[in-house]
Amino acid sequence: MAEAMNPVEALERIADLLQRVRNSRQKAQAFRRAADAIRDKSIDELNDLVARRHLTDLPGIGKSTAAVITQALAGETPEYLRDLGESEGPATDRSDEVRKHLRGDLHLHSDWSDGGSTIEAMVEAAIELGHEYLALTDHSPYVRVAHGLDAKRLSEQLDVVAEINERVAPFRLLAGMEVDILTDGSLDMEDELLDRLDVVVGSVHSKLAMDSQPMTDRLIAALANPHVDILGHCTGRLIVGRGRAESTFDAPIVFTAAAHFDKAVEMNARPERLDPPMRLMPMLIESGAKVSIDSDAHATWQLAWQPNSCHRAAEAGVPVERIVNSWPVEELLAWTGSHGATAGTG
């Protein structure tokens, strides 16, 4: 028998490819659950289970995952892994080229809005990932289903953020918000509160299908707003399940506006978003606009999604110095602060 491939590794590799290349989160989770189910078993134990055809008795192991384990133990490249590889070309993952430069994440949610983890847990997970800073960007009130924060709750959250910072220094938890860009391009939060934030992500969550011209105007108005630092998931597309079409707008003009106002366009790393599409990346790079590579995590483990966009940034050739979350926190804050400072002059 050939030397056995580690079955846990095989399952995790498949999960990784399913999530990043195929955007299939549910399937990926099934393979991760299977990896967890056999993690503590020795190769002998697994071989024994295979021989007795009892692998599928383990919780989380089904027909396809059992086949992967069996083939890996037999020293073969599992068919499932080969299929993914063959259909997607060689498994090149260039995420490290960009990931190694990142110091933080500027778009994520806690259980104050629609996230599943506490602010503290998100911070701990970020520290574990090696981040130096996070911007907490819970939703603004317009997104009712997401328990968006009104001015009063945002103000309360700012106190909590300050209190957490005292405990986690030198790590920095930046105060922020993912503010809705309303149909006329205005923002869903009062200026006085936006003034107190370190980082503001402006995103469209409503009327995504409006005509190209008003959508272009809407995005440019938001980018011109001195409070906005980053344009979140610009096309709003969803590429998993039933999906959602991209919003249409004049991308070169919107990206050029971002460059003009010295703002960043987000590369959103959520597997169902991966926004902007690769097709738009040459225009984004050409415009000179800055880029923010964000997980948009709604739970601690999703902070690890950032490499999805790192890979895409490397493939597209985004200059690393333009990626705002590769900068030290002081530099980042000087940049976001400069937007507010020019409010009266621009």
CB of 202 to Zn ion, least distance (A): 10
178 binds Zn ion (CB under 5 A): yes
By beta-carbon proximity to Zn ion, the closer residue of 136 and 318 is: 136
Indicate the residue among 7 and 176 with the shorter CB distance to Zn ion: 176
Terminal CA-CA length for the chain:
72
Q: Does 138 bind Zn ion (CB under 5 A)?
A: no
Q: How far is the CB of 233 from Zn ion (least distance, A)?
A: 6
Distance CA 253, CA 259 (A): 10
| Binding span for Zn ion by CB under 5 A among 6-14, 86-94, 128-136, 198-206 | 198-206
Q: Does residue 105 touch Zn ion according to CB under 5 A?
A: no
Cβ–Cβ < 8 Å for 81, 10? yes
Is position 203 an interface residue for Zn ion (rule: CB under 5 A)? yes
x/- site string to Zn ion, residues 281 to 300, per CB under 5 A?
---------------x----
Least CB distance to Zn ion at residue 201 (A): 7
For the CB of residue 328, give the shortest distance to Zn ion in the complex, in Å: 24
Task: Name the one range near Zn ion by CB under 5 A: 95-103, 161-169, 197-205, 273-281.
Answer: 197-205
Q: How far is the CB of 205 from Zn ion (least distance, A)?
A: 6
Using CB under 5 A as the criterion, which residues of the chain lie in contact with Zn ion when the complex forms?
Answer: 178, 203, 296
